[in-house]
């Protein structure tokens, strides 16, 4: 018997803001779609109302925008995806930190549950307490990375759940729990299967065929894989991480495995995590730390002191400046800009960085500050976002050593000013970054002797405001030469992009 359904959007006062109808005629599971055109802007709920008597089974109900980023099927919300793409990220970490290793063993994120047909994916709650439909799964993630030219960096649990897990009645699933050794073989195979899914031949490999059937015959060319997320470095962790690392190294020796050294930049887990990385020869480890502006100011030499004989490199996977009240403003943004200048100087050690957390929906945040806030209608980037964007769009690939000379020799003054000069070999552009966290304007002299012949004018971008402000960057053109003067406003981040002279 056919059954007609009314599908509508209703606001808090009961007003219908858009509606459509569907006729369900099959006694088997079948996909039905309709288009609703909104007549108003409002916070609404979706209502599905049967218009005739009968029995009806519904599953996988999804309200989805018609137009997605790059027009991808089941793709991402255009404005959110674009604001990420505008950073020009070199990589994207997914599915995040504690989401990956989950709230207990049964809540560990399982990538295989996220790559098939939408109606077949297995939804679950996560450690942060909200529901994941898995509509954004590994396929959509890898597709998005490819669309914006970013390397995927999937992060999987190292055989243990999050250190903040509750036991949920399973004594194996709390802080000291781990996947039983009898099940580790199957778990490791799941990780190896992910690499095959991403890189395997579409016709010759089992999981390569699954990827191809989803709509992507060509391999995704996965290069990085994260194992673990700021875990406690216990014997249980070490045993399981070692098994996973050795299995990946044996089958995929070219894969860059990113390990973990705990949740802080010091302490037992940090020390033991580095010992394990050195012992196994892990290519890279993921460091995390959230600190005050004072910490970042006083630790700009953190990686200057790094042992250059170490083979293991650093991925600073989670960091942010936190002030009382946990707000993002020009003070936090400029502190991060200062620290990023130090990280560029130490690019031989710190190969990757990512601010965290990245996205937060207004009214549904468990953590502040975040880089980008949004609601159902608009995206609201923070000032810190524009620092990340300016660094991402002006990263370069060659660091040019530089020296800062300030008339004021006070250490507190010296630490509030930073510079970084890089070259983009693809374009030949030289990029000068200058950060002034002082409450006064700084008149500086830039000496670029030896960089070659340059054009006489350059694009300048300045982000400036009072400490509590959340300003936007302003672009203009500035005259430049091999040597030129530059005025830096109080509390400012200045980026000058200088082009080489056109060859005749």
Q: Which domains does the chain have, with CATH numbers?
A: 3-50 (no CATH), 77-256 (3.20.20.80), 398-498 (2.60.40.1180)
Catalytic residues: 230
Phi–psi pair at 501, nearest 5 degrees = -65, 140
- Residues 276-311 pLDDT 10s: 999 999 999 999 999 999 999 999 999 999 999 999
Phi–psi pair at 132, nearest 5 degrees = -115, 120
Tell me the average pLDDT across 105-121.
93
Exposed, middle or buried by CB within 10 Å (0-12, 13-18, 19+), for 243? middle
In this structure, the strands spanning 379-381 and 372-374 are antiparallel
Phi–psi pair at 293, nearest 5 degrees = -55, -40
Q: Which of 220, 218, 221, 214 is nearest to 74 (CA)?
A: 214
Residue 25, pLDDT above cutoff 90 = no
- Residues 250-280 pLDDT 10s: 999 999 999 999 999 999 999 999 999 999 9
Beta bridge partners of 18: 9
Q: Provide the pLDDT for residue 41.
A: 87
Q: Provide the pLDDT for residue 282.
A: 98
How many whole angstroms separate alpha carbon 257 and alpha carbon 373?
A: 31
How many whole angstroms separate alpha carbon 2 and alpha carbon 404?
A: 77
Share of the chain above pLDDT 70, in %: 97
Q: Provide the pLDDT for residue 320.
A: 98
pTM given for the model: 0.94
**Site of tokens 């990827």:** 211
Categorize the per-residue pLDDT at 208 as very low, low, confident or very high, splitting at 50, 70 and 90. Answer: very high
- Residues 339-361 pLDDT 10s: 999 999 999 999 999 999 999 99
H or E stretch covering 21: strand 16-24
Categorize the per-residue pLDDT at 55 as very low, low, confident or very high, splitting at 50, 70 and 90. Answer: confident
Residue 504, pLDDT above cutoff 50 = no
In this structure, the strands spanning 91-94 and 44-50 are unpaired
How many whole angstroms separate alpha carbon 486 and alpha carbon 504?
A: 29
Tell me the average pLDDT across 44-65.
90
Q: Provide the pLDDT for residue 213.
A: 94
Categorize the per-residue pLDDT at 173 as very low, low, confident or very high, splitting at 50, 70 and 90. Answer: very low
* CA–centroid distance for 78 within its chain: 17
Categorize the per-residue pLDDT at 1 as very low, low, confident or very high, splitting at 50, 70 and 90. Answer: low
Residue 32, pLDDT above cutoff 60 = yes
Q: Which of 500, 402, 410 is nearest to 444 (CA)?
A: 402
Q: Provide the pLDDT for residue 479.
A: 96
Q: What does pLDDT average to over the chain?
A: 93
Say if residue 203 is preceded by a cis peptide, omega within 30 of 0.
Answer: no
Residue 503, pLDDT above cutoff 80 = no
Residue 237, pLDDT above cutoff 70 = yes
């Amino acid at each position: 018997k056919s059954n007609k359904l009314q599908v509508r959007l209703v606001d808090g006062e009961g007003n219908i803001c858009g509606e459509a109808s569907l006729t369900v005629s099959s006694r088997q599971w079948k996909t039905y779609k309709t288009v609703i055109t909104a007549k108003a802007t409002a916070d609404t709920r979706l209502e599905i109302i049967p218009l005739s008597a009968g029995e009806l089974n519904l599953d996988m109900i999804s309200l989805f925008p018609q137009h997605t980023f790059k027009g991808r099927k089941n793709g991402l919300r255009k404005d959110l995806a674009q604001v990420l793409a505008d950073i020009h990220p070199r990589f994207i970490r997914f599915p995040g930190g504690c989401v990956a290793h989950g709230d207990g063993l049964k809540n560990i994120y399982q990538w295989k549950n996220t790559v098939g047909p939408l109606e077949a994916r297995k939804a679950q709650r996560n450690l942060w307490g909200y529901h994941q439909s898995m509509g954004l799964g590994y396929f959509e993630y890898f597709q998005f990375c490819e669309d914006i030219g970013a390397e995927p960096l999937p992060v999987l649990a190292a055989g243990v759940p999050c250190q903040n897990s509750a036991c949920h009645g399973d004594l194996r699933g709390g802080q000291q729990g781990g996947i039983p050794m009898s099940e580790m073989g199957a778990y490791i195979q799941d990780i190896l299967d992910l690499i095959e899914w991403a890189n395997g031949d579409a016709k010759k490999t089992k999981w390569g065929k699954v990827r191809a059937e989803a709509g992507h015959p060509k391999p995704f060319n996965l290069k990085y894989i994260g194992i673990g997320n700021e875990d406690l470095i216990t014997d249980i962790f070490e045993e399981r991480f070692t098994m996973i690392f050795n299995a990946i190294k044996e089958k995929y020796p070219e894969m860059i495995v990113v390990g973990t050294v705990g949740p802080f930049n010091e302490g037992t887990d940090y020390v033991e995590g580095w010992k394990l990385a050195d012992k196994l020869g892990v290519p890279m480890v993921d460091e995390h730390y959230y600190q005050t502006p004072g910490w970042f100011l006083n630790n700009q030499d953190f990686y200057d002191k790094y042992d250059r004989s170490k083979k293991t490199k650093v991925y600073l996977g989670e960091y942010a400046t936190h002030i009382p009240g946990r707000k993002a403003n020009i003070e936090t943004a400029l502190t991060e800009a200062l620290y990023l200048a130090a990280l560029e100087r130490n690019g031989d050690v710190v190969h990757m960085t990512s601010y965290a957390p990245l996205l937060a929906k207004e009214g549904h945040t468990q953590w502040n500050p975040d880089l980008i806030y949004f609601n159902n209608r608009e995206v609201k980037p923070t000032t810190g976002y524009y620092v990340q964007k300016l660094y991402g769009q002006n990263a370069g690939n060659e660091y040019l050593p530089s020296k800062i000379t300030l008339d004021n020799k006070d250490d507190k003054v010296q630490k509030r000013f930073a510079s970084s000069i890089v070259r983009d070999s693809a374009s030949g552009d030289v990029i000068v970054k200058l950060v002034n966290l002082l409450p006064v304007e700084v008149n500086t002299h830039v000496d670029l002797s030896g960089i070659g012949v340059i054009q006489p004018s350059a694009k300048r971008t300045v982000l400036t405001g009072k400490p509590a402000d959340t300003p936007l960057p302003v672009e203009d053109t500035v005259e430049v030469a091999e040597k030129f003067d530059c005025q830096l406003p109080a509390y400012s981040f200045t980026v000058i992009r200088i082009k080489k002279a056109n060859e005749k």
